[in-house]
Structure 1
Amino acid sequence: MRLKRLGSLHQSRLSFMRILLRRLARENWTFSCREFDIDANGVGHAVYSAEGPERTYSLVAFAHDLPDEMRSDRVIAEAWDATFCLFDGIPSGADIERLSRNVPLQEAGRISEAELSLSRANRSVRLWSHVVDALAAGEQPDIEKVKAVGYLMRTTAVYGSGKFGAADREMIAGRPEMRAPFQAEMLSVFMTRTFVRDLVQHMARTKGGARTAALDPAIAQSLGIGNSTGLGMAPFIVNHPVLFNNWIAAREEAIARVRSVATATAEERSMFLSILERSGMSVADWHSSHPIQQARLVELRQDLATLMAFVTEADLTDDQPWNRLINWAETALTEEGQELLASLILEPYSGLVDGLADEMADNDASVFSIDGAMTVGEVCRLIDASFGWALDVDWSAPGSIARAWYVSAEKLEPRLGERFEEPIAAYEQPLAPARDAAAAHAALSGFAPDMPISEFLRLHPEHRHTVRRAQISRIAPYGEIRDNTISADVLPIDMLRAKLSFFGATHFDPRSDRWVRICMYAGAPYPEDLMADNADFWGYPALPS
C-alpha cells in the first residue's frame, strides 16, 4: 500500500472495462444507433442503445462545432467538441429536448435521476483532421500517426453517482450489470467510442462525397478513447477506504489463488507465455514525455527482457509454478515489473479470478457509523496497525507537511497547494490521514485505555474522522495508503494510476506530477463485433501471424 507500488499497478482481469465487456458478450447484449442527426458542420445529436436481458441503456451524444481557441482539457473549460449522458432506458423526444438544454452546459446544467452519467470530450485535433482528410481523399490514415496518438477524442470527465442531479449509485447498485464498480461509466465510454468512429466517418463523407473511403476496421479497432485525468480524481482512494480496500483485496485474493495452483497445465502455461509476449509488444509501444515515467519504462522493458529469459528456461509446470515465479520476481524485477507479472499470471485462470468482480463494490453504508462503546485502548491498537509507521514521522518538519489539499471555490474540485507558499491552510481538507492518525494517537495517550471512545470524542470531536477510519480498518485492511499524502515529495500521479489501473487504462502518460493522459478500450471490439471470443484479451496486441 505504498504509493510507489500503487503507482505501478497495471490492468488485469479484474479491471472494470474487462468485467463489463465479458458480461456484455456473455449475456448477448445488442446495440443499435437509434438516431444520428448531425449536419455537415458536425453539429447535432445521436442516440445509441445497449439492450440487455432486463434493461436498456442509451448514450445520448451532442456534437458541437468548437473553435480551436476554446478547446481545453482543463476542468474549468466551458465548451467541448462533444458532450454525453448515459440514459436509463430509451429517451423520448421530450427527454432529448430537455437534455439538449442541459448536457452541453455540463456543470452549468442539471440532469435527472433518469441519467446515470454525464461526460464530455475533445478531439485530438491533429489526428482528427488527418483521419478526416485521408478518408475524404479515398485513402486510409497513416498508421504511424494513429499509433502515436491512439485516440480521436479524449474525455475530460465522466461524472456519475449523483453528480449534477444524476442517479445516485444506490439506485442501480442492485442491478446485476451494475454490481461491479463504475459499470455505468465504463458503458458510457464504450458507446462513446462507437459514436466517435461514426462521427469521424460522417465528417469525412461530408467532405469527400462519393470518393470517401471507409475507415479500415483494423485501424478503427486500434483506436481507443483518450482521457485526461487530474487532481480531482486523486483523493478518491483516500475518501473511499472501504471501496478501495475491496478493489485491492479482490486483486490480492486473485493473486493468492493463482499462486496456490499446484500444477499448471500445458494450455495455462502456453496462454501465459503468449500474453507475456503480447504484453511486451504493448510496452514497446508505450511512450511518455514525463521523465519519471520515461525512467520507469526503461526499467520495465529491462524487466520484461529479464522475465522472458527466465521463463524460457524455468519450469512452469509443477511445484506451485506461479508462486515460485512471483518469489523470483521480488528480487529480480522492479516494482513496475513485479506488478505487471502479478497481473499476467491471472490471465489463464478465469475460473479462479472472474467471480471476485462481484465483491469489489461497497454497498454497506453502516460501516461509517462510529462505535462509541469501543475503548480508547482498542482504537489506539487499530491506529498502530494501520499507521504505526506514521507515529515516528516528525510532523512539525516543513517537508512532512509541505502540501495541503483543498477544494477550489471556482470549480469545487480538489487541488493540492504549497502550504508555506499559498494561503490555503485554513481551507485544508482531511486528506492527510497519516498526519491526523498521529495527532489522534498522541491525544488518546492521555486517556485511560478502558474509557469509551465516545467520551474522548465528546472532548475532542476534531478526531472523529480518524476514529472512524481506525474502526473501518477492521474490515478494510487495504483501505489506507501507507504513505504521507502531504509530503514535499508526494506524487499524486501514483494515486491516479492506482485508480485508473482498476478502470483498465493502459499507456499511462503523466504530463506533470498532477495529471495524466491514458487510453481506454484501445484494441477492443466494437459493439457489433463483440462476442465471447474477443471480449477479454483485446488489451494485448495480437501476435504477428
Structure 2
Amino acid sequence: MTDSRSHIARRDPATVMRLSRLGSLHQCRLSFMRQLTRRMANEGWTFSRPVFNIDDAGVGHAVYSAHGPERAYSLVAFAHDLPPEQRSDRVIAEAWDATFTLFDGVPTNEDIDRLSQNVPLQEAGRVSESELSLSRANRSVRLWAHVVDRLATGQQPDLEQIYKVGYLMRTTAVYGSGKFGAADREKTGNRPETNAPFQTEMLSVYLTRTFVRDLVQHMAQVKGGDATAKLDADIARWLGIGNSTGLGMAPFIVNHPILFNNWIMVREEAISRVRSIETASAEEDRAFREIFERSKLSMSWWHSEHPVQIKKLAALNADLSSISTYLSQEKLQHDYPWDRLVRWSETALSQEGQELVASLILEPYGDLVDGLSSCMADSNSGAHVINGAMPVTEVRSLFDQSFGWAMDLDWTAPENCARAWYVSEEKLEPRLGERFKEPIAEYEQPLAPARDAVRAQKALAEWDGEALIAEFLLRHPEHRHAVRRAQMATVAPYGEIHDNTISADVLPIDMLRAKLSFFGATHFDPRSDRWVRICMYSGAPYPEDLIRENADLWVYPEVQK
C-alpha cells in the first residue's frame, strides 16, 4: 500500500444519517464483538470454569472466568427448569431458561448465594456495584431438542438446522450501566479493556455462549449416558447467541447523539482512509476478494419472513451478483480502487449493498483502521453543557445545518406527527403509540428532535440575532433540549438522524439495525417493524481456542474448497 496523494472526504451526514441507510448497516472491523475478541487474543487472556453445578434436570449454576492482564471478570450463570407455557421473549416475562450476571472479579460462595436470590428474578431482584451486567435467555426449543436428542444417540446435529437457526439460546435483554443496582459506566469506563462501548455486555454474551454449549452437552449426557457423542467443535463454532430486541433499544441512538456520532464518524473516517488509498497490493486485493466470497456464504444463511426484510434481502442478493460481476471485470490494485468500488456501488447497488461494500473494504486494512476504535466512547461530558454566550444568529445557523431538511415539513399534518414515544408504566420501557388514537400525548418523550428543532427555530425568528441564547432560554426554557442538541452538532456532525422519528411511516427497526450493526450482529430477522432477532458470535472461537490468528475474521464463514 502506498500513501495517497488525494484524501477522499468522509461522506456527508445528510447522506449517511437517513434512517433507510442506517437500517442497512452491516458489521465491520470496528464492531464491538470483534474489538473484544481481538483484544483478548492480543493480550493473551485466559479462561476457566471454576464452577459447573448443574443437576440432571438442568437446574443449578456455573461460573466462567475471563482473566485479563490486570483483572478478571466472571459470568455467573443460573440454569432453570422453565415450563413451556412460561417461555416468552417479551420484556414483560417473569421467568427464563437461564439468567446471568457479569461479576467484577471472581465471586466467592457468599457472592453466589447473594446472586442466586436476585439474578433469577431479573428486574424484581437487585444486584450490586460488583455486578456489571444483568441478562437472561431462552432456549430455541426445537433446535435445543434436536441437538440434545442427536448427541444422546451418539450422532452429531444436522448442520443445516444449525445454519438455519444459528443459536441454541437467545437473550431477551442484556442490561448494564447501572440498571437494577449494577455498576455505573463510570466504574469501568477508564479501564483499557472496557473503555470501548458495550465491552462488558459483549464479554457477558461471549461467555454465555460457552455456558450454553456446555449446558446442552450436559443435558445430552444426562439423556444418553455412555452413548452420548461430544458436540463436534466445527459444528459448535456456528452456534452463536441469539437476541430478541424490541422498541426498548430504538431511542438509544436519539438519546445519545455524541456517542452515536462517534460510532458513525469513526466508521466514516475508516471508509474515507481506505477510499483514499491510491494503490493496493496484490495481497490486499486477494484478501478483499476472499472476504467477499465468505460474506456471500454468510448471507446465504440469512432468511426472514417479514415483508420489508424479504424485499431488502432480494435486493442484497441481486447486489451480491452485481459485485461478483464487477470484481470479475475490475482490478483492485491501482487508480484508487476502493474509491472506484464505492462510487460504482452508489449507482449500481441498493443501500444494503452499498453499506456491505463500505464495511468489506475495511477488512484488508486493520493496521489503518483498527486504532480508530479508541475514539468510539463518549468522553466529552462538556458537550452536554449549553453555551449560553452563543449569539442567537449562530444557533439559528446550527439548526439549519442539522435540521434544514425538516424546516419545510408541515408539522401539523397528521402524517408528520402520527406517532408519539412514551415510557410504559408496567415495565418502564420505551413504547411508540398512535398520537391520535391513544391518550398518550401528555406522556410524550423528547424523541422527535427534528420537530422540536423547528419549533425552537420559529421561536428564535422573533429574536435579535445578536442576543445571547441564554436570554432566549430564560424566556423559553422549553427549548433548552433543542438548543443543546443544536450546539452538540459542532462536535457531533453525525449525531442527528435526518428523518422524522414520529411520522406515520417511521420504521423503528431501522434504529435497532443501526445500533446492533455496531455490536457486530448478523442475520437480521425482523418479526415486525418494531422488533428483530439477530445472531451474535456465530463462527467465533470458544475461549479455549481463541488465538490471534482466529480472533477477527471469524464472522465470515470459511468457503469449503
TM-score, structure 1 as length reference: 0.99
Give the structure 2 partner of residue 178 of structure 1: 194
1:68 equivalent in alignment to 2:84: yes
The alignment-based identity, stated in percent, is 71
Matched position secondary structure for 1:538: helix
| 1:504 paired residue among 512, 517, 520 | 520
1:418 equivalent in alignment to 2:434: yes
Give the structure 2 partner of residue 479 of structure 1: 495
Deviates more, 1:102-111 or 1:361-370: 361-370
Q: 2 CA distance for matches of 1:140 and 1:321?
A: 45
Q: 2 CA distance for matches of 1:92 and 1:525?
A: 28
Is 1:173–1:363's contact at 8 Å kept on the other side of the alignment?
Answer: no
The AA in structure 1 aligned to 2:320 is L
Displaced runs of 4 or more, over 2 A: none
Give the structure 2 partner of residue 48 of structure 1: 64
Deviations 1:204-227 (A, max 9, x none): 101111111101111100110000
Give the structure 2 partner of residue 332 of structure 1: 348
Q: 1 CA distance for matches of 2:170 and 2:326?
A: 38
Q: 2 CA distance for matches of 1:216 and 1:2?
A: 44
Residue correspondence of structure 1 range 55-454 to structure 2 within 5 A: 55-454=71-470
Deviations 1:268-316 (A, max 9, x none): 0000000011111111111001011111111101111111111111121
Matched position secondary structure for 2:171: strand
Q: Following TM superposition, by how much is the alpha carbon of 1:149 offset from its aligned partner in structure 2, in angstroms?
A: 0.8
Residue correspondence of structure 1 range 1-20 to structure 2 within 5 A: 1-20=17-36
Q: 2 CA distance for matches of 1:460 and 1:435?
A: 16
Matched position secondary structure for 1:59: strand
Q: 2 CA distance for matches of 1:317 and 1:130?
A: 48
Q: 1 CA distance for matches of 2:300 and 2:90?
A: 30
Q: 2 CA distance for matches of 1:473 and 1:118?
A: 33
The AA in structure 1 aligned to 2:366 is S
Give the structure 1 partner of residue 560 of structure 2: 544
The AA in structure 1 aligned to 2:126 is R
The AA in structure 2 aligned to 1:128 is W
The number of aligned residues is 545
Q: 1 CA distance for matches of 2:379 and 2:300?
A: 40
Q: Following TM superposition, by how much is the alpha carbon of 1:138 offset from its aligned partner in structure 2, in angstroms?
A: 1.0
The AA in structure 1 aligned to 2:170 is R
Matched position secondary structure for 2:379: coil
The AA in structure 2 aligned to 1:265 is S
TM-score, structure 2 as length reference: 0.97
Q: 2 CA distance for matches of 1:483 and 1:461?
A: 25
Q: Following TM superposition, by how much is the alpha carbon of 1:364 offset from its aligned partner in structure 2, in angstroms?
A: 2.2
Q: 2 CA distance for matches of 1:151 and 1:464?
A: 45
Any stretches of 5+ residues in structure 2 without a counterpart? 1-16
Q: Following TM superposition, by how much is the alpha carbon of 1:173 offset from its aligned partner in structure 2, in angstroms?
A: 0.8
Give the structure 2 partner of residue 514 of structure 1: 530
Q: 1 CA distance for matches of 2:165 and 2:301?
A: 11
Matched position secondary structure for 2:512: helix
Q: 1 CA distance for matches of 2:164 and 2:247?
A: 25
Q: CA RMSD in A?
A: 0.6
The AA in structure 2 aligned to 1:292 is V
Give the structure 2 partner of residue 39 of structure 1: 55
Deviates more, 1:453-462 or 1:346-355: 453-462
The AA in structure 2 aligned to 1:495 is M
Is 1:405–1:429's contact at 8 Å kept on the other side of the alignment?
Answer: yes
The AA in structure 1 aligned to 2:288 is F
Matched position secondary structure for 2:538: coil
Deviations 1:10-60 (A, max 9, x none): 000000000000000000100010100010011100000000100000000
Any stretches of 5+ residues in structure 1 without a counterpart? none
Q: 1 CA distance for matches of 2:546 and 2:353?
A: 31
Deviations 1:56-110 (A, max 9, x none): 0000000000000000000000000000000000101110011001000100111
Q: 2 CA distance for matches of 1:518 and 1:326?
A: 27
Q: 1 CA distance for matches of 2:98 and 2:126?
A: 17
Matched position secondary structure for 1:497: helix
Q: 1 CA distance for matches of 2:407 and 2:314?
A: 36
